Amino acid sequence: MVGMRETVLVFISILLLGALVVSAEILSSPADAWNRFRGTPSLTGVTDAALPQKLKLLWSHQAKDSIESSAAIVDGTVYFGSMEGSLYAVSLSDGKLRWAYTIEWPIQESSPCVSGETVFAGDLYGTLHAVDAATGKAKWTFKSEGEIKSSPNFYENRIYFGSYDTHLYCLSADTGKLIWKFATEGPVHSTPSIAQGQVFVSGCDETLRAIDAKTGRQIYALPLGGYTGASAAIRGSYAYVGTFTNEVLGIDLKERALRWSYMHPSRNFPFYSSAAVTENRVVLGGRDKYVHCLDSETGKEVWSFATRSRVESSPLIAGQRVFVGSNDGYLYELDLKTGEKAWDFIAGAPLSASPAAAQGRLVIGSQDGVLYCFGE
């Protein structure tokens, strides 16, 4: 009987360990892939990729129009959208075109995500496209009733995205069949973040909503005091998001209450950039032309870095390095501890897209239609 009891206890321990692994929070994108906007389901903007200390331009790829969405990198391929109405796949090693999927309507800020063997992206006509990652052939499409600037996110073989028709959608990743949709009170511009079985969406209705990922039922809603173009980054039991009322908010999701708010004492401009979040830092760009670094516990400014134009690009954090584009046409590398500039690259056109990194390389697109890849 003792042997049987020990066997049962071991089995239960294995099940509990498995449950903990399944529910473990993904805080950073793995070194070999960046498969969605901000790199992780909860949109933390952090990567485990080891980037070379001295980045150099390896290649560039010219699209036909502006690149305003961020790239995805999976299995040695870079996927990105362009305003001329194309979804591209190019080689991470040399930038050579693998395929181009023609949509005819612009892909603006809806960044591609890659789940399994499928690439997903939305267009300004309101259609979400599912495309075979290897061939560029259409698998299915789903039409919403408003333009899609939200980037699709995925969880348990489901795709989540927002539309300007005021709805948050959940579709089957395999078939595109509608599983549920949730009506908000305004256009859903932001990308939904996913954590602990919940979908979080901040929108033009000035509200952060927590939605059950399986059922589409609202769990709770919290006022933001302003509408948001940025997406909420979730780390642990806290959410971080900037607003068009010139604030950055730190929200306690357990207490369902505001933890802190940050507003610069003199530079009162909206925050359009989505935050990158580490254990103790929140980094995001502002339309005041600055990159801001805040203490995640208190919301107090640690440092700020001045660029020459508004910063709508969302930062990427790799170790103690921050990479972010600016509408001044520069890609910047900043020290996470001090905010000091370590390196920059002039693209010559606004960089409102966000950088992506994997396999020792970093890519970012520009508004003159050039995708740049850096490494060594």
Secondary structure class of 8 (helix, strand, coil): helix
What confidence tens digit (pLDDT) does each residue in 323-374 have? 999 999 999 999 999 999 999 999 999 999 999 999 999 999 999 999 999 9
Chain centre distance of CA 182: 21
User: Does the pLDDT of residue 262 top 80, yes or no?
Assistant: yes
Query: For residue 194, what are the β-bridge partners?
Result: 199
Q: Is residue 21 part of a domain?
A: no
Give the percent of the chain with pLDDT over 90: 92
pLDDT at 24: 62
Burial 21-48 (b: 16+ CB within 10 A, else e): eeeeeeebbebebbbbbbbbbbbbbbbb
**Of 143, 146, 149, nearest in space to 128 by CA:** 143
Structural domain contains residue 234? yes
Average pLDDT over residues 111-120: 98
User: CA torsion 190→191→194→199, rounded to 10°?
Assistant: 50
Asked, for residue 12, whether it belongs to a domain, the answer is no
Q: Is the pLDDT of residue 12 over 50?
A: no
Tell me how many domains the chain contains: 1
DSSP assignment string, 80-133: EEETTTEEEEEETTT--EEEEEE-SS---S---EEETTEEEEE-TTSEEEEEET
Cα separation, 357 vs 47, in Å, equals 7
Inside any domain, residue 220: yes
Q: How confident is the model at residue 158 (pLDDT cuts 50, 70, 90)?
A: very high
Is position 85 within any domain? yes
| 3-class secondary structure per residue, 70-88 | CCEEECCEEEEEECCCEEE
Summarised one tens digit per residue, pLDDT across range 264-298 is 999 999 999 999 999 999 999 999 999 999 999 99
Chain mean pLDDT for the chain: 94
Q: Is residue 14 part of a domain?
A: no
Distance CA 345, CA 56 (A): 9
Confidence band of 173 (pLDDT split at 50, 70, 90): very high
Position 18 in a domain: no
Query: What is the C-alpha to C-alpha distance for residues 320 and 309, in angstroms, rounded to an integer?
Result: 24
Domain housing 355 = 27-375
- Sequential DSSP letters for 218-254: EEEEEE-SS--SSPPEEETTEEEEE-TTS-EEEEETT
What sign does the CA torsion over 124, 368, 374, 59 have? positive
- Position 59 in a domain: yes
Parallel, antiparallel, or unpaired for β 361-365 and 56-62? unpaired
CA distance 37 to 166: 21
**323, 316 contact by CB (below 8 A):** yes
Output the domain CATH number for residue 296.
2.130.10.10
